């Protein structure tokens, strides 16, 4: 019996629908930490979240403004391209759609580059960014995000591989075509659907 077949049987035994787990993934209870570079030193007094690019007037939020916005909970399965999945992760934060509602996007905008500390970026189609449920999360499992998981704010876009869920997020730049972000320039797939195993370029 293969590793994945055995794991499938273990999930069924626990009452978990194994079809929630994308092909080639295994389920972990741990929460691994993965990122390029070092955890940034964030000062909430100077922290800003910015939406710019193809938008009528760039919009900027201070931490006090962002943290005062109404929040929503999200329970979601997350899937890392390095093959671990974690089921029923619990987040809380500001719906992406709520910050988006405060800007005036240019009709030519089709994608965003999500930005973060240290120049990290990830690309997303706007429709994927704005899926209902997606969050700018500041809380994980009822606690403030751990620094290594993205404190103070992290994007959560659970329907794509987890590298699109940018930690230490600082804003969105609206663009009129798809452009690769950091990992996408380093071989990761432009879109990254875990159920289609879109892990790397050419897959
Ligand atoms: N800013 C930033 N966000 C990032 C990354 C990164 O290098 N920098 N790595 C991504 C990758 S490849 C993964 S798998 C997830 C890992 O999130 P975790 O460390 O909270 O498990 O963060 C994503 N978000
Ligand atoms: Mo990753």
Is-contact 69 119, C-beta < 8 A? Answer: no
With respect to residue 24, please indicate whether it lies within any of the assigned structural domains: no
Ligand nearest to the backbone CA of 166: 1
CB of 120 closer than 6 A to ligand 1?
Answer: yes
Neighbours of ion ligand 2 (CB under 5 A): 34, 80-81, 163
Domain CATH for 175:
3.90.420.10
Question: Is the residue at 20 inside a domain?
Answer: no
Total domains in the chain come to 1
The SS3 call for residue 19 is helix
| Rg, C-alpha atoms of the chain | 17
Determine contact, residues 197/22, Cβ cutoff 8 Å: yes
Is 91 touching ligand 1 by the criterion CB < 6 Å? Answer: no
Strand partners, 122: 114
In a domain, 184, yes or no: yes
**For each of the chain's 203 residues, which pLDDT tens digit applies?**
678 878 889 999 999 999 999 999 999 999 999 999 999 999 999 999 999 999 999 999 999 999 999 999 999 999 999 999 999 999 999 999 999 999 999 999 999 999 999 999 999 999 999 999 999 999 999 999 999 999 999 999 999 999 999 999 999 999 999 999 999 999 999 999 999 999 998 65
Report CA 40 to chain centroid distance, whole Å. Answer: 17
Domain that holds residue 159: 42-72+90-196
* Residue at 14 is within a domain: no
Atom of ligand 1 nearest to the CA of 167: 3
User: Is 78 a domain residue?
Assistant: no
Instruction: Tell the burial category of 164 from Cβ atoms under 10 Å away from its Cβ (0-12, 13-18, 19+).
Output: buried
Q: Rounded to the nearest whole angstrom, what is the distance from the C-alpha of residue 193 to the centroid of ligand 1?
A: 16
Residue pair 51/174 in contact (Cβ under 8 Å)? The answer is yes
Residue 144 in domain = yes
Burial class (CB in 10 A: 0-12, 13-18, 19+), 124: buried
Is 23 part of a structural domain of the chain? no
pTM of the model: 0.96
């Amino acid at each position: 019996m293969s590793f994945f077949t055995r794991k499938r049987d273990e999930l069924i035994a626990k009452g978990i629908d194994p079809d929630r787990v994308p092909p080639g993934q295994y389920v972990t209870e741990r929460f691994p930490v993965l990122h390029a570079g070092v955890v940034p030193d964030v000062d909430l007094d100077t922290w800003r979240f910015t939406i710019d690019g193809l938008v009528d007037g760039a919009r900027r939020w201070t931490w006090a403004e962002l943290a005062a916005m109404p929040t929503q909970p999200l329970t979601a399965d997350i899937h890392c391209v390095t093959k671990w999945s974690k089921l029923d992760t619990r987040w809380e934060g500001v719906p992406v759609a709520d910050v988006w509602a405060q800007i005036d996007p240019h009709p030519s905008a089709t994608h965003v580059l999500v930005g973060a500390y240290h120049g990290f970026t990830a690309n997303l189609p706007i429709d994927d960014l704005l899926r209902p449920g997606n969050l700018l999360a500041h809380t994980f499992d009822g606690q403030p995000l751990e620094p290594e998981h993205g404190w103070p704010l992290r994007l959560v876009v659970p329907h794509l591989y987890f590298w699109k869920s940018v930690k230490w997020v600082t804003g969105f730049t609206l663009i009129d075509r798809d452009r690769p972000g950091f990992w996408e320039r380093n071989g990761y797939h432009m879109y990254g659907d875990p159920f289609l195993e879109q892990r790397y370029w050419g897959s």
